[in-house]
Amino acid sequence: MLTSVVGYPRIGAERELKFASEKYFKGEIGEKELLSVAKDLRAEHICSQKNAGIDFITSNDFSFYDGLLDTAVLCGIVPGRYKELGLSEQDTYFAMARGYQGEKGDVKALAMKKWFNTNYHYIVPEVEDDTVLRLAGTKIFDEYQEAKENNIETKPVIVGAYTLLSLCRYTGSKRREDYLDAAIEAYKAILAGLETLGAKWIQFDEPALVRDLDDTDQVFLQKLYQGILTGKGNVRVLLQTYFGDVRDVYDTITKLDVDGIGLDFIEGKQTEVLIEKNGFPKDKLLFAGLVNGKNIWKNHYEKTLDVLEKLKAQGIDTVLSTSCSLLHVPYTLEAETKLAEEYKKHFAYAKEKLTELRTIANIAASGDRDAFEAYRENKELFEKGRDCEDKDVQKRLKAIREEDYTRLPERTEREQIQKEALKLPKFPTTTIGSFPQTKDVKKNRSSFRKGEISETEYKAFNREKIKRAIEWQESIGIDVLVHGEYERNDMVEYFGESLSGYLFTEKAWVQSYGTRCVKPPVIWGDVSRKKPITVEWSAYAQSLSDKPVKGMLTGPVTILNWSFPREDISIRESMTQIALAIRDEVLDLEKNGIRIIQIDEAALREKLPLRRSDWYSEYLDFAIPAFRLVHSGVKAETQIHTHMCYSEFTDIIPAIDNMDADVITFEASRSDLLILDALKKCNFETEAGPGVYDIHSPRVPSVEEIVTALRKMRDKVADEKLWVNPDCGLKTRGEEETRASLINLVHAAEQIRKEA
């Protein structure tokens, strides 16, 4: 049985690409050095797949920033404002991804969005009316060729035309339908180019096919592929889907002249049924995504083999595959030197998944499971189970009453009480929590971790930082202060460390966007709060100022969504356990004099089912109550904030209001404030701080620019409900640009107060 990998992580096991790119951005290394790091990584990645016995290895899954952006650039989708900078090809690319501010101009980055239901972000390509969509690059050819030079035949991948055209933003009057012919020609040219090089397969990633597709979508898809596939020549086409099932277009795609179809058996709830009911064409290979590309638990061989046997019984020619790209899991368990074997034996990262693929395929091919020690071992592992239950947690869960999900008094009544208690000016200014994580801040934490400095020294350093941050915020006139989050590495791991049931890894980095990686902890067992988490820092910060200092927590939905979840209990149950733990922290903060508490839900939307029909029943109906459970116990005068890292919630505004927070801050500057119309239309009740500038980029917004944004916001949000803040936390920014930006922000708020 053959095996296939949809895509491999590219940042490097030691995050080599991240570090090289960052050096390049700072001008510390040149393009040549950056390219050479990238080349080495690519070689290593395909070689380790080859060595593991993978048959279908992907090339061109490498990216300097994002695969969708790569595909857009390959197709000539580069907005004029970036071309006009007159930068090198590489730097034009980075300008689109990160913005550019320098001698040659000042241009913001393209928008960034979460890639389907993952924590990976893609860059949103922009199509202008005069964009000429055509084959305009060579990356896919170069990387295929490069692999070949390493004696490895690969299946180059690009984002398929349907997903590409569906995810683009159209800034003019044209729509995706207007690019049908051009896209067909471009993709045909790609096929032709690969044919010339002797490629045997190409993989078109089409995750957009697992969403709800209406008739127009289906017709568009069909036309697009019928056109593209006329240019197939000798290159075989794998239509790869993932993150769900293709129920709306199963019929359409199985009738296309493709040679392989990749289906997700992990997240695709209906995948098996679709195949059973409709059959699978004899002339195509089924790439069965049975090894989870998103989670770190070992595959349950028995279950997988059962499915493979069923497929075989149906006479289907099957290739065993990952369920999606391994981009979403860390590199290798080999790097986890501190994690006990007792835990490790339950896990498989990218490299171990390669072995799983090969092993399972071998067992399936032999037909005699028990002859394989690997099979017997795996079976035993799952039969034995894990030591992960906590009786107290389960008791507490059972004791939750319906009224624990509701905060009283109601919002309007609270609003008055809070206005009197907090005495904030109109258009209060605040930030989202973190301040720049400068070298010294990171050093302090890592020295403490390594035992190089004592706890007293560690704390003294952070206190000094907090003190300076408070003084500085007061001096420039910010109204609601933050302590700066100097004690945190990231917003989930930090909390997880004080929660029982959590496990931490050393090297389990996963790319989030560009050079940013996260290291999600693992939910191993039942969760509860071991001890107060943030209280000491927040209380200290508050003691330094008469202005309110926000307590800063991560909410249960985000903690869960940014962890590797358990597979043995439901997401709902895990989330409720975490909510109870964070509730304890909220009440402790309040007891210690914190008057405003922000509960970040940066990842609330992330696990929203991709199909609208599942949104409430399979997610929002428990995720929103879990958030309310966290704060329902506070006094009326305690103000609850929440924060989200995107403005993509036009369609779930009632659910957001239902979180019953008093204030919400969210990203808005990168998406043209479109969300505001929707808030107005829905009579959004929560006070709102739409971000007035983009923190993903080092550029400093001018006062004028912020004032303009605020004026637009005032048209849509009532003055009494409007807050002034950046898009997100400032941890990834430098100190200098942060200062300059926040000073401008305060000046802008002052000016708006005069206008109001």
Catalytically active residues are 696
Nearest residue (CB) to ligand GLN, 275 versus 626 = 626
Nearer to ligand GLN, 70 or 485 (CB): 485
Q: Which is nearer to ligand GLN, 221 or 663 (CB)?
A: 663
Q: Which does 190 bind (CB under 5 to 8 A by kind): ligand GLN, Zn ion, none?
A: none
Token readout for 377 is 């071992």
State the pairing for strand pair 510-513/516-518: antiparallel
Question: Residue 127 is which amino acid?
Answer: V
The smaller minimum CB distance to ligand GLN, of residues 260 and 484, is found at: 484
Contacts of 175 (CB under 8 A, 6+ apart): none
Of Zn ion, ligand GLN, none, which one does residue 491 interact with (CB within 5 to 8 Å by kind)?
ligand GLN
By beta-carbon proximity to ligand GLN, the closer residue of 303 and 516 is: 516
Q: Does 123 bind Zn ion (CB under 5 A)?
A: no
Q: Kindly state the number of chain residues that form the binding site for ligand GLN, as judged by CB under 6 A.
A: 13
- The minimum distance between CB 516 and Zn ion, in angstroms, equals 12
> Which residue stretch of 181-189, 682-690, 704-712, 727-735 sits at the interface with ligand GLN (rule: CB under 6 A)?
727-735
728 touches Zn ion by CB under 5 A: yes
Rounded Cα gap, residues 357 and 319, in angstroms = 10
Rounded Cα distance, 109 and 700, in Å = 13
* Short-list 230, 219, 127, 218, CA closest to 179: 127
Query: Rule CB under 6 A: which of 642-671 touch ligand GLN?
Result: 643, 645
Shortest gap between Cβ of 728 and ligand GLN (angstroms)?
5
CA distance 458 to 150: 49
694 binds ligand GLN (CB under 6 A): no
Instruction: Tell me how far, at minimum, the Cβ of 669 lies from Zn ion, in Å.
Output: 12
Q: Give the whole-angstrom CA distance, residue 189 versus residue 169.
A: 23
Residue 433: name its binding partner from Zn ion, ligand GLN, none (Cβ under 5 to 8 Å by kind): ligand GLN
Q: Which is nearer to ligand GLN, 114 or 414 (CB)?
A: 114
For residue 668, state whether it binds Zn ion (rule: CB under 5 A): no
**Could you give the C-alpha distances from 643 to 127, 477, 586, 659, 665, in angstroms and in order?**
30, 22, 16, 11, 5
At CA 251, angle to CA 208 and CA 605, rounded to 5? 25
User: Closest distance between ligand GLN and the C-beta of residue 517, in Å?
Assistant: 14
Question: C-beta of 471: minimal distance to Zn ion in Å?
Answer: 25
From the list 243-251, 430-438, 681-689, 714-722, the region that binds ligand GLN by CB under 6 A is 430-438
**Is the CB of 1 or the CB of 645 nearer to Zn ion?**
645
Binding window for ligand GLN (CB under 6 A); candidates: 6-14, 206-214, 260-268, 429-437: 429-437
Segment interacting with ligand GLN (CB under 6 A) among 128-136, 359-367, 378-386, 724-732: 724-732
Residues 479-493 as b or e (16 or more Cβ within 10 Å = b): bbbbbbbbbbbbbbb
Choices 21-29, 285-293, 431-439, 745-753 (CB under 6 A): range interacting with ligand GLN: 431-439
Looking only at the bridges linking them, the beta strands covering 522-529 and 499-503 are antiparallel
Verify cis geometry, omega within 30 degrees of 0, for the bond prior to 556: no
Radius of gyration of the chain (CA): 26
Report CA 579 to chain centroid distance, whole Å: 21
CB of 432 to Zn ion, least distance (A): 6
Pick one of Zn ion, ligand GLN, none as the site partner of residue 552 (Cβ within 5 to 8 A by kind): ligand GLN
DSSP state of 620: I
- Nearest residue by C-beta to ligand GLN? 729
Measured distance CA(82)–CA(698) in Å, rounded: 17
Q: Rounded CA gap, 709 and 726, in Å?
A: 11
**491 or 706: CB nearest ligand GLN:** 491
Smallest distance, Å, CB 466 to ligand GLN?
A: 14
Among 728, 742, 746, 749, binds ligand GLN (CB under 6 A): 728
Distance of CA 336 to the CA centre of its chain: 23
434 binding partner (options Zn ion, ligand GLN, none; Cβ < 5 to 8 Å by kind):
ligand GLN
Q: Which of residues 474-533 bind ligand GLN (CB under 6 A)?
A: 485, 491
Which residues in 96-135 contact ligand GLN (CB under 6 A)? none
Contact pick of 203, 434, 437, 515 for ligand GLN (by CB under 6 A): 434
Per-residue x/- track, 556-595, Zn ion (CB under 5 A): ----------------------------------------
How many other C-beta atoms lie within 10 A of the C-beta of residue 50?
18
Which parts of 327-346 interact with ligand GLN (CB under 6 A)?
A: none
Where does this chain touch Zn ion (CB under 5 A) — which range of 231-239, 448-456, 639-647, 676-684?
639-647
Nearest to residue 428, comparing CAs of 437, 419, 416, 436? 419
User: Site for ligand GLN (CB under 6 A): which residue of 10, 50, 114, 731?
Assistant: 731
Q: Which of 519, 516, 482, 522 is nearest to 499 (CA)?
A: 522
Please pick, from the candidates 729, 744, 748, 749, the single residue that binds ligand GLN as defined by CB under 6 A.
Answer: 729
- In whole angstroms, the minimum distance from the beta carbon of 728 to Zn ion comes to 3
Closest CB to ligand GLN among 433 and 501? 433
Enumerate residues 6+ apart whose C-beta is below 8 A from 497: 504
Residue 510 parent element (H or E): strand 510-513
Least gap, CB of 645 to Zn ion (angstroms)? 3
Q: Residue 123 or residue 602: which is nearer to ligand GLN going by CB?
A: 602
Name the strand (E) or helix (H) holding 107: strand 105-107
Which entry of ligand GLN, Zn ion, none binds 296, CB below 5 to 8 A by partner kind?
A: none
Identify which of residues 259 and 601 has a Cβ nearer to ligand GLN in the complex. Answer: 601
Cα separation, 79 vs 133, in Å, equals 11
Asked if 350 and 329 touch (Cβ cutoff 8 Å), the reply is yes
Task: State how far the Cα of 631 lies from the Cα of 583, in Å rounded to an integer.
Answer: 6
Q: How far is the CB of 671 from Zn ion (least distance, A)?
A: 14
| Footprint (CB under 6 A) of ligand GLN, residues 543-582 | 552
Nearest CA-CA partner of 10 in 42, 39, 36, 32:
42
**Interaction between residue 600 and ligand GLN (CB under 6 A):** yes
| Cβ burial, residue 440 (10 Å; 0-12/13-18/19+) | exposed
Interhelix angle 139-149/180-197, nearest 10 degrees: 20
Q: Which residues contact 135 (CB under 8 A, 6 or more apart)?
A: 74, 75, 76, 185, 186, 189, 190, 193
Residue closer to ligand GLN (CB basis): 628 or 696: 696
Residue 220: C-alpha distances to residues 241, 250, 253 (Å)? 17, 15, 12
Least distance (Å) from Zn ion to the CB of residue 325? Answer: 25
- Name the one residue in this structure whose structure tokens are 């040679």: 259
Among 645, 700, 713, 722, binds Zn ion (CB under 5 A): 645
C-beta of 485: minimal distance to Zn ion in Å? Answer: 12
Q: Which is nearer to ligand GLN, 333 or 644 (CB)?
A: 644
Least Å distance, CB 706 to ligand GLN, is 19
Q: Which stretch binds ligand GLN (CB under 6 A): 92-100, 137-145, 427-435, 473-481?
A: 427-435
Which segments within 140-266 are labelled E, that is strand?
155-159, 169-170, 201-205, 236-240, 260-264
Report d(CA 688, CA 157) in Å as an integer: 41
Q: Which amino acid type is present at position 523?
A: I
Omega before residue 690 within 30° of 0, cis: no
Q: Where on the chain is the footprint of Zn ion (CB under 5 A)? A: 602, 645, 728
**Rule CB under 6 A: which residues touch ligand GLN?**
432-434, 485, 491, 552, 600, 602, 643, 645, 728-729, 731
